[in-house]
Homo-oligomer: A and B are copies of this chain.
Amino acid sequence: MRFVVKKFGGTSVGNIDRILEVAKQVAAARNRGEQIVVVVSAMAGETDRLVKLSYQVTENPDEREFDLLLSTGEMVSSALLTMALNALGYAAESFTGRQVGILTDSVHTKARIRKIDGERILHALEQGKIAVVAGFQGIDEREDLTTLGRGGSDTTAVALAAALGSAVCEIYTDVDGVYTADPNLVPEARRLRKISYDEMLEMASLGAKVLQTRSVEVAKIYNVPVLVKSTFQEGEGTMVTRADAELEKVVVSGLTLDKNQARLTVLGVPDRPGLAAKIFGKVSDAHIVVDMIVQNVSEQELTDISFTMARSDGKKAFALVHEVLPEIGARDVKLDGKIAKVSVIGAGMHSHSGIATTMFAALARENINILMISTSEIKISCIIDEKYGELAVRTLHEAFGLGNSRDDELPEGC
């Protein structure tokens, strides 16, 4: 019997009609002979409602209580979906994170899974039942409820697929796969039939909000094939899997645009060891995640250091750095909140020359100035003026020929 983990996101279970529809889909899969574990998110809007309640109580909600509060959203949707399956005549049972045996660390609101017991689920499957799991949650050693961070149900699903030995982890969402670029920006954007874990990681972390980054990390470690599909329409979806010979043929897989960016530039920093550490120590102590860092070539023993972060952290970082200016002897600090990051991603990139040149030339043709550049094995990112973001994506999509079908290069049925 083919054993499959299926995850349905918040939009897919967003109201009772949709829950009934999901139940029918799961029942149909069962009829096809699949052994099924379903993982559900909270009904769309429910997590936001709970978050809002807690912020009405206090600006600074206790994180242990916050986790208990938020974890109820997934309990509700798992109970409702299980009822729907039972009402259709299918034996089904819901499982909280605790009942699954998802043991996490104690870092509330962004806990990491340490171990999955899964014994009760396996027992239910043996009895022919469909197991419906409340995503996003676990328990720590003290048996306190923990949550895995926004999008954490993806991670629950992939981790369960890994722990239980599922053939595939199917992620049902409101898009029908992973695209070469955001179809809202680039009408010619194409759905990818396959993408490697590493490419997907770059896509996910750069703002293609299809999968939670950590779920892809887990999938990569345990080599779990993840199929991203639409809940609402038929289609093959996109298979996220390990890089193989076919994938290597492809140079650029996709483009992403991230407008949630701010840049801080520290001007006239003396070129002495330890000063960068002072600046970034201050920033990371405040739990601000720094993304790109660029230090210009020093002239006259003074250098400029620029770095980017989430836009919401910009003002806080500015204040922190401003405070240490005298200590490090820098001249000034400037905040630029109107920037965007456009990235080209492709697993084949590191063995192909000319990608960066193509990218820079395409942007230059449209008179888009590049403010910062950062490269990795499988991506090149440029910081540009926010207002050119959409234009840049469209231009690059054409420059790399992404509108041409990549599917043609792949054998059928892969």
- A20–B87 Cα gap in the complex (Å)? 40
Of residues 55 through 109 on chain A, the ones whose CB sits less than 8 Å from some CB of chain B are: 56-58, 60-62, 64-66, 68-69, 71-72, 75-76, 78-80, 82-84, 86-87, 93-94, 96, 98-99
- The number of chain A residues touching the other chain, given as a range, is 35 or more
The answer to whether A75 and B68 have CB atoms under 8 Å apart is yes
Q: If A65-B94, A94-B68 touch, does A58 touch B75 (CB 8 Å cutoff)?
A: no
A87 CB contact (under 8 Å) in B58, B64, B144, B145: B58
The answer to whether A20 and B79 have CB atoms under 8 Å apart is no
Q: Smallest distance from the beta carbon of A20 to chain B beta carbons, Å?
A: 7
Q: If A16-B57, A19-B57, A57-B16 touch, does A72 touch B76 (CB 8 Å cutoff)?
A: yes
Number of copies: 2
**Chain A at the B interface: mostly helix, strand, loop or mixed?**
helix
The answer to whether A62 and B76 have CB atoms under 8 Å apart is no
Check A324 for interface membership: any CB of B closer than 8 A. Answer: no
Q: Smallest distance from the beta carbon of A169 to chain B beta carbons, Å?
A: 24
- In addition to A68-B78, A69-B79, A98-B143, 7 A-B residue pairs with Cβ atoms within 8 Å of each other are A53-B76, A53-B80, A58-B87, A60-B87, A62-B83, A64-B93, A65-B82
- A residues near B (Cβ < 8 Å) are 16, 19-20, 50, 53-54, 56-58, 60-62, 64-66, 68-69, 71-72, 75-76, 78-80, 82-84, 86-87, 93-94, 96, 98-99, 143-145
- A86–B58 Cα gap in the complex (Å)? 9
